[in-house]
């Protein structure tokens, strides 16, 4: 097994994010070290289960850990209260108690729902994240934001519940279809626009050999932000760059447009609007579009500004007569701006 990079996240009790190859085979040892007398249920989806579930179960059983599993139908459309209830019922049927834990094995949908279930089962039990997509490695597995979608909008029901450990096994990306790989790179590009520097340089070069470095850079940045603002009261809101339009696109499409692709368009839109409105240095959109195109990500949507505005009014970031948006001033410098819905509409209109 190659060298493992360990990134500490000093939030709550604190936890580690480990990035490397072959980490699936270390799950049993990791659980035994941190939860020696615990039992667990692995939560995964119908896409990931045939690939990795038995391997993780074998690792746990070899370590002497009693483990069960819960498999739900894959896809954003199943990120809902019904699926959450199913996970909770499986935990209860397996007779998990407060010293036991859940393990999320999969992408962002799996991690979100498992974290939510762990946060409310018996008023809170530990959980471990094992992300298997670029998207979940660079973004959703770190920081403790766990939620499900409601008919009215995305991620409207949820909790803050930090994981006890995150294991990013780079080998799992070998089975990731190209469109899902690209989907995750949208969040990496978003982070590159926030940070600039080396990450921006890496994201301008479409080389999969750089993916481990890209993932590590994204996690280091997000870990720092989460440590300074766990509850998203200030700085952490910057991580929503591209998400106002992105969430609206997802909702307008009935969640048929994947999250990363929607965020890619949202990031491109706000960059174009910032340039055209004189809110940026005038060259943000050029660099953003180069990064997105390098990873085969879209720059435009067919939904109108009216469609997007209406969907944005039910966004969890909306309040009263407006919303807080993230404006890229330059690559490496973004700021929060409170907008009325009329102002948001104008940015949508010129950014399309």
Q: Which of 247, 251, 261, 316 is catalytic?
A: 247
Q: What angle do CA 202, 107, 85 make, to 5 degrees?
A: 155
Question: Active site residue: 240, 250, 261, 272, which one?
Answer: 240
CB 292 within 8 A of CB 264: yes
Which residue in the list 39, 78, 79, 145 is annotated as catalytic?
145
Alpha helices in the chain (DSSP H): 27-34, 54-62, 81-93, 108-120, 134-135, 178-195, 197-203, 211-228, 243-252, 259-276, 284-294, 305-312, 341-351
Q: What angle do CA 7, 325, 12 make, to 5 degrees?
A: 30
What's the CA gap between 146 and 314, in Å, rounded?
Answer: 18
Q: Please identify which of the residues 220, 232, 272, 316 carries the catalytic annotation.
A: 232
Verify whether residue 300 is a known catalytic residue.
no
Report whether 119 contacts 159 (CB < 8 A).
yes
13 annotated active-site: no
- Is 21 in the active site? no
Catalytic: 232?
yes
> Does the annotation mark 154 as catalytic?
no
Active-site choice (39, 161, 236, 251): 236
Q: Which of 187, 190, 212, 316 is catalytic?
A: 187
Q: Is 259 a catalytic residue?
A: yes
Q: Is 343 a catalytic residue?
A: no
Whether residue 123 lies in the annotated active site: yes
Q: Exactly one of 39, 154, 220, 222 is catalytic; which is it?
A: 222
What would you report as the CA-atom Rg of the chain, rounded to the nearest whole angstrom? 20
Which residue in 39, 78, 79, 259 is the catalytic one? 259
Q: Which two tokens stand for residue 318?
A: 């909306």
Q: Does the active-site annotation cover 80?
A: no
| 78 given a catalytic annotation | no
Contact of 341 with 321, CB cutoff 8 Å: yes
DSSP-assigned letter for residue 25: G
Catalytic pick among 243, 251, 272, 316: 243
Q: What are the catalytic residues?
A: 123, 145, 187, 222, 232, 236, 240, 243, 247, 259
């Amino acid at each position: 097994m190659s060298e493992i990079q360990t990134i500490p996240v000093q939030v709550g009790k604190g936890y580690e994010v480990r990035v490397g190859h072959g980490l699936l085979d270390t799950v049993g040892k990791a659980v035994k070290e941190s939860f020696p007398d615990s039992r667990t249920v692995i939560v995964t989806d119908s896409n990931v289960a045939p690939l990795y579930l038995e391997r993780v179960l074998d690792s746990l059983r070899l370590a002497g850990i009693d483990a069960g599993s819960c498999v739900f139908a894959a896809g954003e459309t199943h990120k809902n209260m019904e699926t959450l209830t199913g996970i909770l019922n499986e935990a209860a049927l397996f007779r998990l108690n407060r010293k036991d834990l859940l393990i999320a094995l999969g992408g962002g949908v799996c991690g979100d729902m498992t974290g939510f279930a762990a946060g409310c089962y018996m008023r809170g039990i530990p959980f471990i994240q094992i992300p298997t997509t670029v998207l979940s490695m660079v973004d959703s597995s770190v920081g403790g934001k766990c939620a499900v979608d409601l008919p009215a909008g995305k991620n409207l029901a949820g909790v803050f519940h930090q994981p006890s450990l995150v294991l990013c096994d780079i080998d799992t990306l070998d089975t990731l279809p190209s469109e899902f790989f690209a989907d995750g790179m949208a969040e990496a590009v978003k982070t590159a626009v926030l940070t600039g520097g080396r990450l921006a340089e890496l994201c301008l070069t479409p080389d999969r050999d750089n993916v481990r470095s890209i993932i590590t850079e994204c996690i280091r940045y997000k870990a720092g932000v989460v440590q300074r603002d766990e509850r998203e009261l200030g700085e952490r809101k910057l991580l929503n760059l591209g998400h106002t339009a992105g969430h609206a696109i997802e909702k307008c499409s009935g969640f048929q447009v994947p999250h990363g692709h929607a965020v890619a368009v949202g990031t491109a839109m706000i960059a174009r609007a910032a340039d055209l409105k004189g809110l940026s240095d005038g060259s943000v959109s050029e660099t953003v579009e180069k990064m997105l195109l390098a990873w085969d990500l879209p720059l435009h949507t067919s939904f109108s500004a009216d469609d997007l505005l209406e969907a944005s009014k039910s966004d969890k970031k909306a309040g009263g007569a407006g919303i807080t948006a993230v404006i890229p001033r330059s690559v490496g410098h973004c700021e929060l701006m409170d907008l009325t819905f009329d102002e948001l509409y104008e940015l949508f209109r010129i950014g399309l």
